[in-house]
Chains A and B, each alone.
Chain A
Amino acid sequence: MGLLDLLYRLASLLEMPLYQRYLESKVREGEIPKHVALILDGNRRFAQKLGLDYLNAYRIGASRTEELLDWLLELGVEHVTLYAFSTENFTRPREQVEAVFRVIEEKLRDLIGRIDKLRRNGVRFRIVGKRELLPQRVRELAEELETMTRDFGGKTLNLAVAYGGRMEIVDAVRKIAEEVREGRLRPDEIDENVIRSHLYAPDLPDPDLIIRTSGEERLSNFLLWQSAYSELYFCEVYLPELRKVDILRAIRDYQRRKRRFGS
């Protein structure tokens, strides 16, 4: 950590609200989850609550997500997976789908424009999902960012878009079946590792903690295979209203559960 970083951190610590500072110090004493996955929910309800149009609500949600990423990286989380758009979400009204992808496109451009930030933090970006379903421009930008960050380091930012957990398993099974048909794999060789190796991001460790915003208590087809042993945390606030204390509380709860059920 350079001197400037140290000074910046000190200054931000002093600016931080007291309760947040307290929670953060408690959380830093415990085990930080390596992989945190988030179901980003509540943009539309937030829009309805404040009378905003969806596009603006998605933009606020996206800005909050960027802050969220900073919070997690600062805490030492190595892998972050963001569930931004499911395969089922394509059935929403066209203008809503377009609004989501417009905001994703803006954010991808933004990340490319500020690529140094990802480089500095050693974060590799990747898309998790059926990329062939993405609008062409979004797909191109996402793949450009994947390429740019390929060698950045061991941390990952995974954007789950056009993603469905069941579809991921179906796709894996299809690929395995093909390999069996082609004689490259015997049926008795199929085990958990084989299935895992055919998922969209096979090298990504299972999430330790899955957080869902907006008070809904479902996985909604997110990381079905990978979440078998994940701790789940549901927080009541809508994504655009998410605060650092909510994330800190989620991690503190995770740490308590680990202590309670550990060994």
Chain B
Amino acid sequence: MEVREYRIDVGGAILDLNTFREEYGIRTDLTQQVKVEGLDGRLTRLLKVMIPDFNVYLLETPHILRYITHPHISGESLEILLSENSSLLRKVVDRFTLQRFGRIVAAEGLIRKMGLDVPLVDDLRDLGDAVAIVIAPTEKEEVEALESRIRERGGRLRVVLFMGPLGEGDVRILGDEANSLGADSIFLAPALLGSKDSRGSLVAYGIDVGLLKLGKVVELGSVVDEVTLCRLLRDYPPGIDISGLRERMRPDLNYLRSILEDILFLLEQPVFDPWQIEILMREAKNLRRQLMKYGG
């Protein structure tokens, strides 16, 4: 493949994209855009991740980029963001034509916050063949439990659609688990797939903050489309965990405090360049404001 030279403007600073990608191990060579009716293919895009054995897709919309780059968006403001994004999400889920595999059911009510009107597993009897939607991040035990809940209701788990922030490692663990239960899996992640090296944190790029606090340096990248990466860089606070909906949906003061604490910790380390420090400081300000709003 041809090595292309890139210089991109990240809010005043000019970045050499090749150097930057290499610095953090960001993979931009694994995505391929998929045409979806209703998505304009420019600002709203579905991308297939070209990794063997698993069906992994990335959905990029302006709302999703805001979700990733602004961890302070939580509670009510997150609900607004999700509702604005819901029609695009529906189009993508429709694109998978899951109903051909069986009845679509969701594992938990959070799905409705995302604008998908799907019945819950526990509300139905006689499921028959079923497609289950699970909000990621999730553990493989949850997939197992879901399968037995469906089985108890006379159904059979055919396909699991995992939606939400995911890492390469999660894809393998969850995909293998679904497979061992006789089900196929589809993964739909917001804009990027976390690095296989990520342990706790799921980041677009940066240093694993949790490990850094324990005295270990691990630089993390992600699998992301090049255009998405360029759009993210101006606003994404490097190293900050892209948390799942569950943590961010309710105005969880602990969540906001922990992200703020991570940012303040990173700001103490001589790690990032001025333009990145500016982003971190901006987000710290947003988090403080959000905390004050919720009385924290």
Chain A residues packing against B (C-beta within 8 Å): 17-20, 22, 215, 217, 234-237, 241, 243-245, 249, 252-253, 256
Contact = CB atoms under 8 A, between A and B. Distances in A.
B125 interface: no
A18 B212 contact: yes
Given A18-B269, A245-B271, A215 B207 contact: no
B273 A19 contact: no
Closest A-B pairs by Cβ, 6 of them: A22-B217, A236-B13, A19-B271, A236-B273, A245-B270, A243-B270
8 contacts: A17-B269, A17-B270, A19-B212, A20-B270, A217-B7, A236-B275, A237-B274, A253-B19
A191 to B, nearest CB: 32
Contacts of A244: 270
Contacts of B22: 253, 256
A22 B274 CA distance: 20
Contacts, number: 39
Contacts of A19: 207, 212, 217, 269-271
A253 B19 CA distance: 7
Contacts of B271: 19, 245
Nearest to B266: A19
Nearest to A250: B19
Nearest to A241: B274
A249 B23 CA distance: 8
A252 B207 CA distance: 16
A237 B270 contact: no
B295 interface: no
Contact of A253 (B13, B23, B207, B215): B23
A217 B7 CA distance: 10
Contacts of A236: 13-14, 273-275
A115 to B, nearest CB: 31
B16 interface: yes
A22 B271 CA distance: 11
Contacts of B270: 17, 19-20, 243-245
Contacts of A235: 273
A20 B207 CA distance: 12
Contacts of A252: 23
Contact of A237 (B212, B215, B273): B273
B13 A18 contact: no
Interface in B119-168: none
Contact of B217 (A18, A215, A217, A256): A18
Contacts of A243: 270
A17 to B, nearest CB: 5
Contacts of B274: 236-237, 241
Contacts of A234: 14, 16
Interface in B248-296: 269-271, 273-275
B14 A217 contact: yes
A79 B212 CA distance: 34
Contacts of A217: 7, 14
A49 to B, nearest CB: 10
Most buried by A among B16, B22, B271: B271
A23 to B, nearest CB: 8
Contacts of A17: 269-270
A138 B7 CA distance: 40
Contacts of A20: 270
A153 B21 CA distance: 40
Nearest to B16: A234
Nearest to A22: B217
Contacts of B19: 253
A18 B275 contact: no
B9 to A, nearest CB: 11
A121 B148 CA distance: 71
Nearest to B217: A22
Most buried by A among B13, B16, B212, B217: B217
A215 B13 contact: yes
B99 to A, nearest CB: 48
A245 B14 CA distance: 18
